[in-house]
A and B are shown apart, each in its own frame.
Chain A
Amino acid sequence: MSPEAQEFLHTFVSESFYYWASVFMLLIHAGFLAYEGGASRVKNVLATMVKNLITLASVGLAFFFFGWWVYNAFPLFPMAGPILGPWTNPEASEAIKAAMPYVEGSYPWSSALGPNNADHMTGVFFFAFALFAMTTASIMSGALIERVKIGAYVFLSIILGGFTWLVAAAWGWNYFGWLFAKMGYHDFGCSGILHATAAFFTLGVLLNLGPRVGKYDPQGKPRQIMPHNLPLTMVGLLLIFIGFYAFLAACVIFLPGYEGETTIYGTPVTLASIGVSTTLALAAGLVGAYISAKADPFYTISGGLAGIISAAGGMDIYHPAVVMLIAFVGAFLMPKVAMFVERMGVDDAVGAIAVHGWCGVFGAVVVGVAAGGFPQGEGIPAINLGTQILGVVLFAGLLGFLPGYGCSWVMKRFDLLRVSPEEEVAGLDLADLGVPGYPEYATYEYVNEQLPVAQSSGSTKYAE
């Protein structure tokens, strides 16, 4: 084999790895779609699934038009330099000079994103990051089901998936990011960067959106609204697990010319250990939630995801025993956090704040303890608790809760956030889409409203 062919093979291996990892990440969305659809009531199942599906469009397009640029343009801002763009002088500093090629490759008009056999990697990283972005917005999707306007969700998904989480990623999940380079933040699997940002953004939205009709009794005590199809929800979470194996694999960097795998921070990692750790985190998470929630099926299966998120921040360097302990503790406390949130009057239909918010915060902070003192690159501070806490405050508060609350507050003022009570009671399948999700089922509406009308009028349309 000629040296040129060997070099191309190396490139193709990298390109293929990210391509297929990203394809498998799409299973996260298949999973969220099934999970949320199952968690909704019969009258909302189609609208819930369509809303989730639309995330692929809203975030995918936003990511192309500005999200990919945001990730590459914000690493230095505001602590180490300006926002980078066509107006930036590449010679202004060494850091800007090093970062500018990535910025130039992220413009929608960049030649790197079209067919270009001089650049096989920019496009495939765009693909992977677009899937990360869609995952971020999907986390919000489930919490808002059964009462949010689709337009409001589309707008919020663009803000979250196309902007705020990407600023978080630029700061803490980018080799040039100031939070990493200047302070040593470490979050291999995006516990804080992605999950905490998304969940606290969602919390801000939920405070303005309010609970579903009938969720709380007149005394303010929560009522249980059962998922209409718990088995579908469980299948959905299994798909999410598969997707998260790919998600975490895609966090491993292997580029043409590399002699080993690294994290996005340039530190060593192995794909094999990510497989071991993800499996153990999943297992320990399921155990933690199973014991804590007394075998509640919804929380038990969510425990697998809670375990993975809890351990993701330091999965590149944790020993398997550390992974198990952290995943267990995160998942064990998750159901209790979910019930606490519910009792505080926040109607989070799928437990996103507990699973992604609590475990995201816990997973990011615990890196500072369980992997505290680990050195990173030259001139970069070691992993430390203070920076991990600072990161979480920035992600959950500044880039999560505040924009989520602010945007939804404005939409609420203009009556753009929530459907009318009549539409909510009728169900969003009919109100938004005009078709029921299960037209042949003997639903409550069919038995009590349509069938009597049909019988009294002598019509055979419904009676058949």
Chain B
Amino acid sequence: MQFSPLLAIFNPSPFQTHSEFLEVEGPFYTFAHQPGMIAFLLILCALGSIYFVYASFFIKGEQAGLKSPLALSLLLALGLGAVAERVYQQTLRQSDRPTSAVTRGVQMRSPQAPSPRLKPLALLGLVGGSAAASRRRRSSASRQRRIR
């Protein structure tokens, strides 16, 4: 069973065959063939680390987290919906495509397909949206406290 719906959207594997992988001399990690993706991910992690240092000055212990299970459920449902839609589209696309056309370093994408480099951003957006939502709730609550 070969079912890799995200394979053609972004391809983490630098190898096309098992012999390439099993006999590798040198790096064999995800995106080893895409230095741009590695650079992007590293910048993202660096920004996250800087935010952590910044946030550590302001985060105080309080009752953590989830104010509304409904909000989390909606976020999860939206995320799952997006993945399901992508799986469906990708399955359709794969069924139209000859497998031999996929060669190393060459990925076939339909013209309508969004840039693969934006996909991790979309995932982060889900998390960021959740964080922003909870921040808004807290800000609103603290404003109400101040008003009182």
Using a CB–CB cutoff of 8 Å, the interface residues on chain A facing chain B are 182-184, 266-268, 273, 284, 287, 290-297, 299, 314, 317-319, 321-322, 324-325, 328-329, 332-333, 335-336, 339-340, 343, 368-378, 380-387
Q: Which of A296, A328, A340 contacts B61 (CB 8 A)?
A: A296
Interface string of B43-69 (1 = CB under 8 A from A): 011001100100110011111111001
Interface contacts (Cβ under 8 Å), in number, total 153
Q: Which residues of A contact B15 (CB under 8 A)?
A: 374-375
Interface string of B28-42 (1 = CB under 8 A from A): 111110000010011
B5 and A325 contacting across the interface, CB-CB below 8 Å: no
A290 to B11, CA, bound (A): 32
Contact residue range for chain B?
35 or more
Q: Which residues of A contact B32 (CB under 8 A)?
A: 319
Chief secondary structure at chain B's binding surface = loop
Interface string of B4-32 (1 = CB under 8 A from A): 11110001110111111110100011111
Q: Which residues of B contact A297 (CB under 8 A)?
A: 61
Pull 12 A–B residue pairs with CB atoms less than 8 Å apart, ordered by A. Answer: A266-B22, A268-B21, A294-B62, A318-B29, A319-B41, A325-B45, A336-B66, A340-B69, A372-B12, A373-B4, A375-B15, A386-B4
| B48 CB → nearest A CB, Å | 7
| B138 CB → nearest A CB, Å | 9
A371 to B21, CA, bound (A): 13
A296 and B30 contacting across the interface, CB-CB below 8 Å: no
Indicate whether A267 sits within 8 Å of B21 (C-beta atoms), given known contacts A322-B41, A325-B44, A325-B45.
yes
Indicate whether A384 sits within 8 Å of B61 (C-beta atoms), given known contacts A291-B52, A372-B7.
no
A292 to B62, CA, bound (A): 11
B17 and A375 contacting across the interface, CB-CB below 8 Å: yes
A328 to B124, CA, bound (A): 11
Q: Which residues of B contact A368 (CB under 8 A)?
A: 4, 6
A380 to B60, CA, bound (A): 50
Known contacts A287-B48, A297-B61, A322-B30, then 6 further A-B pairs from the complex at CB < 8 Å, ordered by chain A residue: A291-B52, A325-B44, A370-B30, A372-B7, A385-B4, A387-B3
A335 to B2, CA, bound (A): 34
A332 to B52, CA, bound (A): 12
Q: CB of B113 within 8 A of chain A?
A: no
A299 to B66, CA, bound (A): 13
